[in-house]
Structure 1
Amino acid sequence: MHAGAYTGEGEEGLGPWMQGTNDWFCLTGLFSELKLAVPWGHIAVKVWGSQKNPPVLCLHGWLDNANSFDRLIPLLPQDFHYVAMDFGGHGLSSHYKPGLLYNHQNFVSEVRRVAAAFKWTRFSFMGHSFGGTVGGMFSCIFPEMVDKLILLDSMPCVLDCNETDNIVTYKRRNIEHMFQGEASQDSLRVSSMEEMMQRLLNKNSHLNKECGELLLQRGTRKMATGVVSNRDRRLSVPETCFDFLSKEMLVHFISRLQADVLLIRAKHGYYDVRQANHEKKPLLIMVDTLRTVLKERFQYVEVPGNHYVHMNDHHLVAGVVSSFLQSQPRTTSRM
Structure 2
Amino acid sequence: MGNPGGDPVLLVHGRQDSAATFIPLLHNLPETYNYVGVDLPGHGKSDPFPIGVMLTRFHFLAAVEYAVTHLKWDHFVYVAHSMGCEQGLFFNVIHPGKIAKFIFLDPLPSFQRLQIHDFKEYYGTFYHEYYSNYKKYNTNDRVYSKRKAVESVMRARGLNEEQAEIVLSRNLQSVGEDTYKLSWDKRLRLPAAQNYPPDYYYGLFSKNLPPTLIVSASNSLDPRNKKRNDIAIELVSQLQKSMDHFYVETVTGGHDVHLTDPELVAKCILDFLNRSMGRAKL
Q: Does 1:254 align with 2:210?
A: no
1:159 Cα shift? 6.7
Query: Structure 2 matches for 1:1-335, cutoff 5 A?
Result: 48-155=1-108, 157-158=111-112, 160-165=114-119, 166-173=121-128, 176=131, 179-181=134-136, 188-205=141-158, 207-225=159-177, 226-238=179-191, 240=192, 242-268=193-219, 270-271=220-221, 273-274=222-223, 277=226, 280-294=229-243, 296-331=244-279
Amino acid at match of 1:176: Y
After superposition, what is the alpha-carbon deviation per residue over 1:245-282, rounded to whole angstroms, capped at 9, x for unaligned?
A: 312112211221331110111112x23x3389565412
Residues in 2 aligned to 1:224 and 1:160: alpha-carbon distance in whole angstroms: 40
Q: Which structure shows the bigger proportion of residues in strand conformation?
A: 1
SS of residue in 1 equivalent to 2:63: helix
Relative to 1, partners in 2 of residues 1:110 and 1:257: Cα closer, same or farther, differing over 3 Å?
Answer: same
Normalising to structure 1: TM-score of the pair?
0.75
- Superposition TM-score, scaled by structure 2 size: 0.88
Q: 1:53 and 1:233 mapped to 2: Cα distance?
A: 37
Q: How much has 1:49 moved relative to structure 2?
A: 2.3
What's the CA shift for 1:197?
1.7
- What letter is aligned with 2:264? L
How many percent of aligned residue pairs carry the same amino acid? 24
Which residue matches 1:21? Answer: none
In 2, the alpha carbon distance for the partners of 1:315 and 1:178 equals 42
Offset from partner CA, 1:199-258 (integer Å, 9 cap, x none)? 2223223x33221111111110222141111111222225x2x32331211221122133
Provide Cα deviations, 1:24-62, integer angstroms capped at 9, x if missing partner. Answer: xxxxxxxxxxxxxxxxxxxxxxxx123321111111111
**The residue matched to 1:301 in structure 2 has which SS?**
strand
Partners of 2:126 and 2:225 lie apart in 1 by 27
Whose relative contact order is higher, 1 or 2, with alpha carbons under 8 Å and at least 6 apart? Answer: 2
What is the count of residue pairs matched by the alignment?
A: 277
Asked which structure has the greater CA Rg, the reply is 1
User: Is the alpha carbon distance of 1:95 and 1:284 closer, same or farther for their aligned partners in structure 2, counting shifts above 3 Å?
Assistant: closer
Gaps of 5+ in 2: none
User: RMSD of aligned C-alpha atoms?
Assistant: 2.5
Show structure 1 runs of 5+ residues with no match. Answer: 1-47
